[in-house]
Structure 1
Amino acid sequence: IIQVLRGELSDYIKYNHYHQLTTHGLMKDYTTSELSHLIDELRFKGFLNEYNEILTCDESVKELLNNDVTVYTTPFKHKSKEKVFINTIEGVDRALYSELVEVRRQLSEKLNIAPVSIFSDYTLEEFAKRKPESKQEMIAIDGVGSYKLKHYCPKFLETIQSYKTNI
């Protein structure tokens, strides 16, 4: 959601045609952290609900959108510079990364979904950097939610463990 609001053009956004939505780029002047804070505030105040990693809204949002109600949020505290993640080779085990890309490709073909819907390149690079050994370590990596942890991570954990054993 945040990537769409900020107007980002990742492969995932293009593949799902999210760049064609009227909300694409609507909040491009906000940082990822600011939008994350805003979404958290709207969830806390009951305007947004989350179920199985899906955000939903109810009738109360109409009042908000029509400016019938004012929402006061806690001030956003800027941290020192926001990190911008770009694909990098620094610290990434390229041999492991290649194996993880192949696992993702096989899964995507088996499930008939886009590879990026399973995990982004960034997430696979993080796997190749950190080499997680458990689901607890995987859930701490950006791009891994409860659904992906349950359905996709076991195969990736198996690949990482096998790789570590063979090096």
Structure 2
Amino acid sequence: MKKNVLIVLGAPNSPDGKLSVISKSRLNHCASIFAKENLVLCTGGWGDQFNTSNKPHAQYCKAYLIKNGVLRHAFLDFALSSNTVDDAVKIKPIVKALNQVRLTVITSDYHLERVKLIFNEILKSFELKYVGVKSNLSEEAYNKLVSHEKKAVKSILENGLYY
């Protein structure tokens, strides 16, 4: 039987490590679907656009998930990535070392299309399931992110994926 690996993609946190609303929405979804036979993989190292603190984003995520009921022994190594393509690249060797796994990739609704494009290419040898969690952002903030995603998807479609 295949083990399910819940992969939570990174999102912003403050310079002192406080998780953003976007990050918490992804983590809350992970905690809500976690079952004791699941494994969990948190992504996110550092980057000017999402984490300038002294600890990797994934470390804050793991602490939050443990506080919210995810078992400590369920965690795989962190994928210390700096962007979405880097997420997939750094996830690959971690999950490749496991036998018989299915990947559930948890991101935000506005980010889902780009994640699918990237992960379907880089992790194509795995069984993939995607969850786009509702963002709960202001309309203005949401529209700004949607606009960014449309540009990023267009760039991938026009120029291909480099990794």
Tell me the TM-score normalized by structure 2.
Answer: 0.30
Bigger relative contact order, structure 1 or 2 (CA pairs below 8 A, ≥6 apart): 2
More helix by share: 1
Tell me the TM-score normalized by structure 1.
Answer: 0.29
More strand by share: 2
Q: Name which one, 1 or 2, has greater alpha-carbon Rg.
A: 1
